Amino acid sequence: MKKVSSLSELGFADDIHRTLFRPIQQAAPPSPTQRRTKISVIGAGNVGMAIAQTILTQDLTDELALVDAKPDKLQGEMLDLQHAAAFLPRTRILASPDYAVTVNSDICIITAGARQIPGETRLNLLQRNLALFKEIVPPLARYSPGTLLLVVSNPVDVLTYIAWKLSGFPPNRVIGSGTNLDSSRFRFLLADHLEVNAQDVQAYMVGEHGDSSVALWSSMSVGGVSILSQLTNDKAVVEQGVLEKIRKAVVESAYEVIRLKGYTSWAIGYSAANLARSLLRDQHRIHPVSLLAKGFYGIPDDREVFLSLPAQLGRSGVLSVANIHLTDEEAARLRRSANTLWELQQKLDL
C-alpha cells in the first residue's frame, strides 16, 4: 500500500525537517507509553466509510485504520480522507488489507458482511457471514487483545454472538450496534411530530434489531415527562393499533431508504460514531445496544443470546444494563425475541 505520492519518491530531501525544526537541548526521547487512541474500521463500503468519516469529522480519535479485502478501493478511500488534511485536526489515517494495521486498537468496528441474495434464507446468509467472521475476528483479537469489538454487520445480534465466541473476549467487550439507530429513528418520528428536539425524547427500541424489535412504550418520555397516557387517551390511537404501526414504520424505514437510494449510510455512521464516543471517552451514557442478555428481564441464564437492551457504556465496554420497568406484554415480546435468536444460533455450526 505504498503511498504513490510520497514526496521522497518525488525527489524531496528526506531530511528537510531537520533544517526547518530543531529540538531543544537534552530532550528525552518520547515515553514508550502509548496514549494515542486508535479506532479500526473493518470494511470500507458505504457503511464503513460513513462511520470512518464521521469519526474523523468529530475528531474522536488520534489514529484511524481501515481494512478491506479490495486494496484499490481501500487505498482510494484512504487518500480521499487524507487529502482533507488541511481541514481537519491531525489524525493519522492508515489502511491495509492486512489486519496488522489494526494493532493496538481501542475499538474495532466490524461492518463487513455478505449481502442477502434475493431468495436466500436467513440461515444461509448467516452461514456465509460466519465464514467471513472466522477470517476477521481472530486476527483482530490477536492484534488488539484488549480492544472493544463493535459489530455493525447484519444480522447484528447473531453476528455479535459469533464475534464474541470467535474472539474469546469477556462479554462486556463485545457489543453490537443493535437498536441504537432504530431508537434514533423512533425518536426522530416522535420528535418531529411533537416538534421537540429529538434529544429531549427518550424512547427505546430493544430486543432483536429487525422485525421482532420491541418498542418500550411504557418508558417513553419527553422532557422527562412520561407521555404514553397522553397518547393512549385518544381512543382512535388504541383501536387502530397506532402504536404497532409506528413500531413497524421504524422497522421499515431502513428498507425504505434502501429502496430509495440503494443502501443506508449516513444514519448508521452517526449512530456508530455516537457509540464510539461513549465508549472511548468513558461517557457512562445509556444506549440500546446488542449485548449478552441472559439473566435479564426473564431471559433464562442458559440462553446465551445477544439482543439490545439499554446499557451504560464506558471505556471498558458495557458497564451495566439499565433496570427499566417493562410491562408484561413488553417482557413477553422480549423473551420471544430471545427465543427466536436462540433457535437461529443453534442451527449454526460454531
Annotated binding site: 43-48, 68, 129, 152-154
Which residues carry a binding-site annotation for NAD(+)? Answer: 43-48, 68, 129, 152-154
Active-site entry in 209, 284, 287, 325: 209
The closest alpha carbon to 299, from 343, 347, 336, belongs to 336
Q: Rounded to an integer, what distance in angstroms lies between the CA atom of residue 153 and that of residue 108?
A: 13
Cβ closer to its own copies: 36 or 142?
36
17 given a catalytic annotation: no
Decide whether 241 or 298 has the Cβ nearer to its own copies.
Answer: 241
Residues 6+ apart with CB under 8 A from 237: 231, 243
Residues paired with residue 92 on neighbouring β-strands, in sequence order: 63
**Cell numbers linked to 9:** 519518491
**237 vs 348 by CB, closer to its own copies:** 237
- State how far the Cα of 345 lies from the Cα of 159, in Å rounded to an integer: 10
What's the closest the beta carbon of residue 323 comes to its own copies, in angstroms?
22
CB of 180 to its own copies, least distance (A): 9
Q: How many CB atoms lie within 10 A of CB 38?
A: 22
Nearer to its own copies, 4 or 28 (CB): 4
> 290, 350, 289, 288: which is closest to 126 by C-alpha?
350
Spacing of C-alpha 326 from chain mean position = 25
Q: Report the nearest approach of its own copies to the CB of residue 53 (Å).
A: 5
CB of 27: closest distance to its own copies in angstroms? 15
Pick between residue 115 and residue 193 the one whose CB is nearest to its own copies. Answer: 193
State in angstroms the smallest separation of the CB of 121 from its own copies: 27
Question: Which residue has cell 465466541?
Answer: 165
Cα–Cα distance for residue pair 6/216, rounded to 1 Å:
54
CA dist., res. 279 & res. 300, Å (int): 28
The partner residues of 110 in beta bridges, in order of sequence, read: 42, 151
In order, the DSSP letters of 274-297 are: HHHHHHHTT--EEEEEEEE-TTST
The identity of residue 286, as a single letter, is I
Catalytic residues: 209
